[in-house]
């Protein structure tokens, strides 16, 4: 395992359990990419590394070879010298030139993994869990140093990459692009999977063949965004959930990002990801350095399913932290869709009473409890309780909720300020804005300027103060607009474009301080639903509100799309009322519950107004979910049927010990006179027996996987779930 350097051949090998990643020096100077894929123990240098001269490509010489960087596969290309393709780094030097040529200086291999200063990152608990290779590069003309970091985890088929730039010169330089990783494949026979969306329909998987030229994806909105997730997958043509090579990049960052592919003139594919550069420039003074976020590179030779399971395990074990890392999450009720802003203590307690009777464990008070907030036009920033609505305050309400045997949770939107607020009256310059330009509001709010230390301190102290003032067990941390008129009066004119990244550094600092000083609180991130559903935030908050769209049918695509990188333990998923508030669709309660219990289960409707029949069904489902949650969010997830191919959707979870299986089938539209529909399970032991816990039937694993279960559903929006338990003591009678 780990890092191996073949000094003679100048090859760097990174070995994971079943994969290999290889780099090589070319011309004795340039670091180039050679191989990433299924495990190899050795490469013949001449066979692995091809060289070619191209018309219209300038030729260089070095180490007895001639070559052009227009052809050779780059590892961290800068676009300088003879390289014409998409670069990972853009620099403007003190004389205005931007030709950057990074040459190899040396390497260091260390046990374990270092934290990335100020940024979320994967971690190890023991040094022996990982090895890190650092490769040092330098532009000798300006003494600009770049360190490339590669961490190899002992148990995971991933390479974690990042870069650090240090200005070793004596004058400032400006970075105008700073990606975390880039590498080149020798061919282009891939499909590219991306995860675009919008508010209410996040992470819808799109698949398309690669095309010649540069194809970019990203966010320029100041957040990773609903519109595009920082996840790309290259799937070998003809691959599927269980077959074919699949390569992914996923950025551990919650701000602007840029990712994509470039298919060059010889049909080689460049694959890259990192911070976005449209609103980015960074002044690096002499002696200063800047770290990129980490990007996780995952590979599977066995299709998309195992690729996703690698991400899930990695994130659950080496990204998510704290008390709730492996703990079952409380089943909650949130009052947002039940009351919106129109609540008082009486209404809240009525919902809490009904929740307690159902076995729900946590009551979450959403937006509208502070300042004078009766709708979304005021009070963000004024974090003091509205005693007209809640006469006994947060402390009193929390006590009353606890007396009912429920935990208590509270909504915040700490990064924002309403124009109509006390905070804005006192500090009108604390928001992101450009001097002398209008400050465009979105949802009647402006964004606080987290590049400023005093603003960050204010938020940290204010939120911590409230959390310490009452018994609060859960926090929903929301963020409901994107950046416009991006400027800071705390930054000099040559540093204005640093704001989006400085904002993220400020946000992460606040989140680190608050989450670490409140280790018993369960934090759930949210950004108008899943607008910042990324690995960056999972480092601070173990779960996220997957989408504001609570329609059971819409959730199939959203949760299925999210599962390509993110585990079920990250997905908040609630049952809401019908007609659904986002789509107007009426779906059966069973379907809504079956979809929601596949994630962190919750309810978001007025429980004090439900029929006896529905309450009884909810109670049953909650009891069932309590029995599943020790394994369901933490087990091996299998996508069985894609909502993107025909509508019907199915998924399955196998507990880590292989003893318990949950499977769910969702029929979107019924068809007249359908043929036999069977659901084939995955990941079982073919020679073991499994008990259907509902009806006592016994099936062999082989039968469940090869023949499958008969699915017979009648009507639109129907669902069926199964629970199996492995039966090792079952004997077949003669």
Compare residues 155 and 376 and give the one whose CB is closer to ligand GLA: 376
| Selection from 341, 354, 353, 360 nearest residue 596 by Cα | 360
Is residue 685 within 8 Å of residue 726, measured between CB atoms?
A: yes
370 scored as a contact of ligand GLA (CB under 6 A): no
Q: Cβ 349 to ligand GLA, closest distance in Å?
A: 20
Name the minimum Å distance from CB 411 to ligand GLA. 6
**Cis before residue 579, ω within 30 degrees of 0?**
yes
Among 386, 460, 480, 587, binds ligand GLA (CB under 6 A): 480
Distance (Å, rounded) from C-alpha 191 to C-alpha 233? 8
Comparison of 4 and 412: residue with beta carbon closer to ligand GLA: 412
303 or 572: whose CB is closer to ligand GLA?
572
- Which residues 6+ apart lie within 8 Å of 276 measured at CB? 218, 219, 220, 255, 256, 257, 258, 500
Nearer to ligand GLA, 607 or 653 (CB): 607
Which H or E run contains 562? Answer: helix 552-562
Q: Cβ distance 61 to 27 under 8 Å?
A: yes
Whichever of 104 and 411 has its CB closer to ligand GLA, that residue is 411
The window from 46-54, 189-197, 283-291, 525-533 that contacts ligand GLA (CB under 6 A) reads 525-533
Q: Which of 218, 529, 536, 683 binds ligand GLA (CB under 6 A)?
A: 529
Burial pattern 109-148, b for ≥16 Cβ within 10 A else e, equals beeebeebeebbbbbbeeeebbbbbbbbbbbeebebbbbb
CB 271 within 8 A of CB 183: yes
Could you say which DSSP state residue 115 is in?
A: P
Number of chain positions touching ligand GLA (CB under 6 A): 11
Minimum distance, C-beta of residue 581 to ligand GLA, in the bound complex (Å): 11
- Mark the segment that binds ligand GLA (CB under 6 A) among 57-65, 186-194, 310-318, 526-534: 526-534
Residues 6+ apart with CB under 8 A from 672: none
Question: Is residue 478 a contact residue for ligand GLA (CB under 6 A)?
Answer: yes
CB of 379 to ligand GLA, least distance (A): 11
Q: To the nearest whole angstrom, how small is the minimum distance from the Cβ of residue 473 to ligand GLA?
A: 17
Report the residue number, 336 or 539, with the smaller CB distance to ligand GLA.
336
Asked if residue 240 lies in contact with residue 304, where contact means CB atoms within 8 angstroms, the answer is: yes
Q: Which of residues 606-625 bind ligand GLA (CB under 6 A)?
A: none
Candidates 29-37, 158-166, 521-529, 625-633; binding stretch for ligand GLA (CB under 6 A): 521-529
Of 302 and 367, the one with the shorter C-beta distance to ligand GLA is 367
**Rule CB under 6 A: is residue 548 a binding residue for ligand GLA?**
yes
- In whole angstroms, the minimum distance from the beta carbon of 574 to ligand GLA comes to 9
Strand partners, 651: 639, 664
* 528 binding ligand GLA? (CB under 6 A): yes
Q: Which is nearer to ligand GLA, 139 or 413 (CB)?
A: 413
Among 67, 195, 336, 566, binds ligand GLA (CB under 6 A): 336
Least distance from ligand GLA to the Cβ atom of residue 410, Å: 11
Instruction: State which of positions 403-422 bind ligand GLA (CB under 6 A).
Output: 411
Vertex 183 angle, CA 103 and 303, to 5°: 155
* Closest distance to ligand GLA from the beta carbon of 366 (Å): 5
Stretch that binds ligand GLA, among 66-74, 492-500, 506-514, 523-531 (CB under 6 A): 523-531
65-68 long-range Cβ contacts below 8 angstroms, 24+ apart: 65/26, 65/27, 67/26, 67/27
What residues numbered 181-210 form the site for ligand GLA, per CB under 6 A? none
Helix (H) or strand (E) holding 725: strand 718-726
| Per-residue contact string for residues 428-467; x = within reach of ligand GLA by CB under 6 A | ----------------------------------------
Residue from 264, 366, 498, 636 touching ligand GLA (CB under 6 A): that is 366
The gap from C-alpha 183 to its chain's centroid, in whole angstroms, comes to 21
Distance CA 488, CA 220 (A): 17
Rounded-to-10 torsion of CA 316, 473, 572, 516: -40
Distance in Å, CB of 367 to ligand GLA, minimum? 3
Q: Which is nearer to ligand GLA, 433 or 574 (CB)?
A: 574
Between CA 227 and CA 550 the distance in angstroms is 18
Between 279 and 334, whose beta carbon lies closer to ligand GLA? 334
651 binds ligand GLA (CB under 6 A): no
**Binding flag, residue 383, ligand GLA (CB under 6 A):** no
- Which stretch of DSSP H or E encloses residue 718? strand 718-726
Token pair recorded at residue 707: 């023949």
> Catalytic positions, please?
478, 548
- Min separation Cβ 341 and ligand GLA, Å: 8
Q: Which of 294, 367, 449, 473 lies at the binding interface for ligand GLA (CB under 6 A)?
A: 367
Q: Does 362 bind ligand GLA (CB under 6 A)?
A: no
Nearer to ligand GLA, 70 or 604 (CB): 604
Contact yes or no for 174/188 (Cβ under 8 A): no
C-beta closer to ligand GLA: residue 480 or 718? 480
Separation between Cα atoms, residue 339 and residue 345, nearest integer Å: 12
CA distance 68 to 34: 15
First to last CA, the chain: 48
Q: For residue 476, what are the CA distances in angstroms to 353, 449, 451, 651, 722?
A: 21, 21, 23, 28, 32
Question: Residue 533, interface with ligand GLA (CB under 6 A)?
Answer: no
User: Is residue 526 within the footprint of ligand GLA (CB under 6 A)?
Assistant: yes
- Give the residue closest to ligand GLA by C-beta: 367
Q: Give least dist CB 385 to ligand GLA, A.
A: 17
Q: Which helix (H) or strand (E) holds 574?
A: strand 571-576
Contact present, 407 and 330 (Cβ < 8 Å) = yes
Nearest distance, CB of residue 511 and ligand GLA, angstroms:
17
Q: Which stretch binds ligand GLA (CB under 6 A): 286-294, 390-398, 522-530, 651-659?
A: 522-530
d(Cα 353, Cα 342) in Å, to the nearest integer?
18
Contact footprint for ligand GLA (CB under 6 A): 336, 366-367, 411, 478, 480, 526, 528-529, 545, 548
């Amino acid at each position: 395992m780990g890092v191996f350097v073949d000094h003679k051949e100048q090859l760097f090998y990174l070995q994971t359990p079943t994969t290999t990643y290889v780099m090589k020096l070319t011309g004795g100077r340039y670091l180039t990419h050679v191989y990433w894929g299924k495990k190899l123990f050795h490469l013949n240098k001449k066979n692995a590394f091809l060289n070619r001269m191209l018309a219209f490509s300038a030729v260089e010489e070095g180490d007895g070879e001639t070559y052009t960087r227009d052809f050779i596969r780059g590892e961290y290309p800068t676009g300088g010298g003879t390289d014409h393709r998409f670069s990972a780094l853009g620099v403007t030097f003190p004389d205005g030139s931007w030709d950057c040529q990074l040459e190899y200086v040396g390497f260091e291999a260390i046990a374990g993994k270092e934290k990335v200063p100020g940024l979320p990152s994967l971690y190890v608990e023991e040094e022996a869990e990982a090895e890190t290779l650092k490769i040092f590069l330098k532009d000798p003309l300006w003494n600009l140093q770049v360190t490339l970091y590669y961490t190899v985890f002992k148990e995971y088929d991933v390479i974690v990459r990042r870069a650090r730039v240090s200005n070793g010169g004596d004058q400032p330089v400006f970075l105008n692009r700073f990606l975390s990783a880039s590498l080149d494949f020798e061919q282009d026979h891939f499909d590219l999977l991306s995860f675009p969306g919008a508010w209410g329909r996040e992470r819808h998987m799109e698949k398309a063949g690669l095309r010649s030229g540069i194809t970019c994806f990203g966010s320029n909105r100041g957040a990773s965004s609903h519109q595009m997730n920082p996840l790309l997958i290259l799937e070998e043509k003809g691959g599927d959930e269980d077959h074919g090579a699949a390569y992914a990049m996923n950025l551990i960052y919650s701000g602007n990002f840029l990712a994509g592919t470039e298919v060059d003139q010889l049909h080689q594919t460049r694959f890259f990801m990192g911070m976005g550069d449209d609103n980015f420039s960074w002044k690096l003074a002499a002696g200063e350095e800047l770290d990129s976020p980490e990007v996780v590179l995952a590979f599977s030779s066995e299709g998309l399913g195992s690729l996703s399971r690698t991400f899930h395990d990695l994130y659950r074990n080496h990204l998510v932290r704290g008390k709730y890392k492996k703990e079952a999450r409380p089943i909650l009720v949130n009052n947002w869709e039940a009351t919106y802003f129109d609540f008082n203590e009486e209404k809240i307690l009525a919902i809490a009473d009904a929740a307690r009777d159902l076995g729900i464990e946590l009551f979450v008070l959403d937006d509208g409890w502070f300042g004078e907030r009766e709708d979304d036009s005021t009070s963000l920033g004024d974090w003091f309780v509205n005693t007209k609505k809640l006469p006994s305050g947060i402390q009193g309400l929390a006590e009353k909720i606890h007396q009912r045997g429920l935990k208590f949770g509270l909504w915040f939107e700490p990064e924002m300020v309403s124009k109509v607020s006390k905070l804005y009256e006192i500090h009108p310059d604390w928001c992101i804005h450009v001097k002398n330009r209008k400050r465009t509001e979105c949802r009647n709010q402006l964004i606080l300027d987290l590049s400023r230390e005093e603003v960050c301190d204010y938020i940290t102290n204010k939120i911590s103060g409230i959390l310490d003032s009452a018994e609060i067990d859960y926090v929903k941390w929301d963020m409901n607009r994107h950046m416009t008129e991006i400027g800071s009066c705390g930054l000099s004119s040559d540093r204005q474009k640093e704001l989006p990244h400085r904002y993220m550094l400020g946000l992460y600092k606040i989140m680190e301080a608050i989450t670490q000083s409140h280790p018993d609180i369960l934090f759930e991130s949210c950004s108008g639903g899943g607008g910042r559903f990324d690995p960056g935030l999972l480092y601070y908050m173990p779960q996220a509100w997957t989408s504001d769209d609570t329609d059971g049918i819409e959730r199939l695509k959203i949760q299925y799309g999210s599962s390509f990188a993110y585990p079920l333990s990250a997905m908040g998923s609630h049952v809401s009322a019908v007609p659904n508030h986002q789509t107007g669709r009426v779906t059966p309660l069973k379907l809504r519950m079956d979809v929601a219990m596949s994630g962190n289960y919750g309810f978001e409707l007025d429980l004090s107004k439900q029929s006896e029949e529905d309450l009884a069904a909810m109670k049953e489902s909650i009891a069932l979910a309590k029995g599943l949650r020790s394994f369901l969010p933490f087990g091996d997830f299998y996508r069985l049927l894609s909502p993107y191919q025909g509508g019907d959707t199915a998924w399955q979870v196998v507990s880590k010990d292989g003893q318990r299986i949950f499977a769910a089938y969702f029929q979107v539209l019924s068809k007249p006179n359908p043929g036999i529909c069977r659901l084939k399970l995955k990941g079982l032991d073919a020679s073991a027996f499994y008990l259907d816990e509902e009806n006592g039937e016994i099936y062999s694993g082989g039968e469940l996987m090869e023949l499958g279960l008969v699915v017979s559903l009648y009507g639109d929006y129907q669902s069926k779930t199964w629970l199996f338990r492995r039966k090792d003591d079952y004997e077949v009678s003669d």
